[in-house]
Amino acid sequence: MKKYNDQTFTTGWRLPLVGAALLALSACGGGDGEPGNPGDPGGEPAMDIQSLKVEFMDIGLTDGVATVKYRVTNQDDKVVVGIPSATFIAAQLVPEGFTGAGNASTWQHFTAETCASTCPGTYTDLKTGIYTYSFSAPLDGMNGQTLQPGATQRLVIKLGGDKLADGTALPITNAHKDWQSGGEPAYSRDIVAIDTCNSCHNNLAFHGGKYNQVETCVTCHNSSKVSNPANVFAPMVHGKHLTGFPKPISDCETCHKADDKLADNQNWHTVPTMEACGSCHTAINFPVGEGHPAQPNNANCVACHNPDWTANVHSGGDNEAVLASVKADIVSASLSGTTVNVGVKLSNPQTGEVYGSADTLAFISDLRVYANWGGSMDYTTRSARSIRLQSTAPESGADGVYTYAISGLTIPAGTEADTGTLALQGRLCALDGKLTACAEGIETVVMKSSHSFFNATALTATGRRTVVTNDTCGSCHGIQQLNFHGARNDLEGQCQVCHNHNMQADATAANPAHTTADFKQLIHALHRGKFAGFETLNYPGDIGNCAQCHAKGDNGVLTVALPLSSAVQPMALNDGSFTSPTAAVCSSCHESDSAKNHMTQQGGVFAGSKADASAGTESCATCHGQGGFVDVLKVHPIK
């Protein structure tokens, strides 16, 4: 083991200042001396460290040994001195085809060296927020790998998870630098961004939370480091998503998003290989010819699976073309007693063509409009009234706008000034990416559902409050790609038209909140694996991160904040009792006896009368409201 030099692991910033003062005093007693080389700039030391930033200053090879010089600062660009440990990982990337015709570019692992109380190489703290490290030996030959001239090199630095000498905790940080002897790398393998992963997983971190960047993972999860081929990064990630994935597994662009910041973001369809493709197409054995013509290597993959074909079959390109040719709009609405008259227009937004009424269009498989009333009270009835336009002649029509009547709305006396919601859903018949007449065996494509608000005389811009959005749900499920009851995918506003407080919970259940189809209770129970039939659902993120699903309201505050909207109604139980609104929502997750007792002490009502559950006795917002001592926005791990 190499020893630390004199400056290594002197922690805290005050000691270097004392040392500097002593040096200055000693200089006053002697001659002027010769001026030394100017040092690297330091900076004001950090007193508060919420995050660490690493700036690579110099990197290269000295006699074959990789060396690095870097600067560490906090979130305010104040230098961090005295970091007591670090891990350094070295790997190289060999280009596409280097290991065999058709093979993808491949990372090759050299070594990982950790400095803590001891150090394999030479670690130096320059006391200015700048550090240096030299690996223990030349990279060439490490882990049996040959250092390739001209290859892209990667150095990863892992910091944090420990404390400075004064007790300041250091957050875990992964930083990487890709480089090449003599200049910038000529090629890369930047395929997936960690931000894409974290759109579902929040904050992915593995191996005790030490590693939280894709660029770190691939330096070790490659065939030169792991013994099991299933643990190579691409097959490993594909395999882990085969079960429980919240979107169709064939939609590669869920993770492989088009991103100009990633030079190789299209690699998923431009470089097909047995290793990557076989990790999803698990019934295929390429070498022996099971499920696919025998193929011993990757040399001929692209001959059949060209980039355009591969992209098309994995991204629903044909379906997107069909959907882009039909737009269904609700353009008017007005009440006549308990009937809402709805104007619908069908058109081709690409060409401007205006279609006829739905019942005259052979390519319409299904087109429905639902209506419910009472936006300020989360709706008056359990099930919305609906009409099927493909089998209903319109009441009237002009200029492509056709009017339909949806009768039987429940509009209690005194609510005439309230608002209602119209929800539209449908399916189109398609063949080879084009609209076609519906017939047996013809594929149907689900349209994106939508909703509109209306009052007694017209459509309105506002109505029932928005709690979640299609974008927030889409961060995992895809934007309106999660279809229920055949073709309903507007999770923002359509589902709540029926899944409302008029649904009833099972009063005999251990936790009734896990049994009702009221949207707010249902969604919490589903994502916790508590709803019957969904016990194996494995939520990929932090279940306490309410911002994963909840949107911000018009006031800019997350809709999970207390107090709840006055529109939120008590939860109905099937024995005629009710649970007060906040208690019903919070007890879906906080379901212990002590939590329920606390809620009851603060005015919550469990299985009481409707009058008691609606009386507004809950004082939860006193402590848990915005700015409160235990504000829900602060005590939940909201990111």
For residue 131, how many other CB atoms are within 10 A of its CB? 26
Residue-wise pLDDT tens digits, 362-408: 999 999 999 999 999 999 999 999 999 999 999 999 999 999 999 99
Question: Does CATH place domain 320-470 in 1.20.120?
Answer: no
CB 566 within 8 A of CB 618: no
What value does the mean pLDDT take over residues 182-201? Answer: 93
pLDDT tops 70 at residue 420? yes
pLDDT tops 80 at residue 131? yes
CA distance 63 to 289: 49
pLDDT band at residue 41 under the 50/70/90 scheme: low
CA distance 578 to 255: 43
Q: What is the average pLDDT score of the chain? A: 92
Asked whether this chain's domains 243-315 and 320-470 adopt the same fold, the reply is: no
pLDDT of residue 320: 86
Pairing of strands 339-347, 53-62: unpaired
pLDDT tops 70 at residue 16? no
CB 615 within 8 A of CB 603: no
Specify the 3-state DSSP secondary structure of 91.
strand
For residue 623, how many other CB atoms are within 10 A of its CB? 13
pLDDT of residue 39: 62
- Torsion angles phi and psi, residue 315, rounded to 5: -130, 0
pLDDT of residue 18: 34
pLDDT of residue 7: 35
Two structure tokens written together for 366: 């299904």
pLDDT tops 80 at residue 30? no
Task: Give the sign of the dihedral formed by CA 378, CA 384, CA 385, CA 391.
Answer: positive
pLDDT tops 70 at residue 145? yes
Two structure tokens written together for 90: 């070295």
As a whole-number percent, the residues of the chain with pLDDT over 90 amount to 86
CA distance 257 to 252: 8
| Domain boundaries, given as residue ranges, for the chain | 9-27+37-192, 243-315, 320-470, 501-635
pLDDT tops 80 at residue 10? no
Question: Does CATH place domain 243-315 in 1.10.3720.10?
Answer: no
Residue-wise pLDDT tens digits, 541-579: 999 999 999 999 999 999 999 999 999 999 999 999 999
Two structure tokens written together for 53: 């930033």
What value does the mean pLDDT take over residues 295-311? Answer: 94
Residue 611 burial class via C-beta count within 10 angstroms: exposed 0-12, middle 13-18, buried 19 and up: exposed
CA distance 310 to 449: 28
CA distance 123 to 3: 9
Running DSSP on this structure, what letter comes out for residue 621?
Answer: H
CA distance 514 to 208: 33
pLDDT of residue 248: 84
SS3 string of 559-603?
Answer: CCCECCCCCCCCEEECCCCEECHHHHHHCCCCCCHHHHHHHHHCC
Residue-wise pLDDT tens digits, 432-483: 889 999 999 999 999 999 999 999 999 999 999 999 999 999 999 989 999 9
pLDDT tops 80 at residue 40? no
Two structure tokens written together for 10: 């002197």
Pairing of strands 571-573, 504-505: parallel
- Torsion angles phi and psi, residue 251, rounded to 5: -85, 85
What value does the mean pLDDT take over residues 14-39? Answer: 39
CB 564 within 8 A of CB 570: no
CB 99 within 8 A of CB 29: no
Higher pLDDT, 215 or 14: 215
pLDDT tops 80 at residue 31? no
Partners of 353 in the β-ladder: none
Two structure tokens written together for 169: 């905790």
What value does the mean pLDDT take over residues 133-149? Answer: 97
pLDDT of residue 319: 87
pLDDT of residue 249: 86
pLDDT band at residue 337 under the 50/70/90 scheme: very high
pLDDT of residue 435: 96
CB 389 within 8 A of CB 359: yes
As a whole-number percent, the residues of the chain with pLDDT over 70 amount to 93
pLDDT of residue 34: 47
pLDDT of residue 439: 96
pLDDT tops 80 at residue 37? no
What value does the mean pLDDT take over residues 604-615? Answer: 98
pLDDT band at residue 22 under the 50/70/90 scheme: very low
Report angle CA 79, 82, 85 to the nearest 5 degrees: 115
Residue-wise pLDDT tens digits, 437-446: 999 999 999 9
For 226, residues 6+ apart whose C-beta sits below 8 A from its C-beta are 220, 232
pLDDT of residue 38: 52
Running DSSP on this structure, what letter comes out for residue 266?
Answer: T
DSSP 116-182: SSS-SSEEEE-SSSEEEEE-SS-STTGGGPPPPTTPEEEEEEEE-SSB-TT--B---EEEEEEEBTT
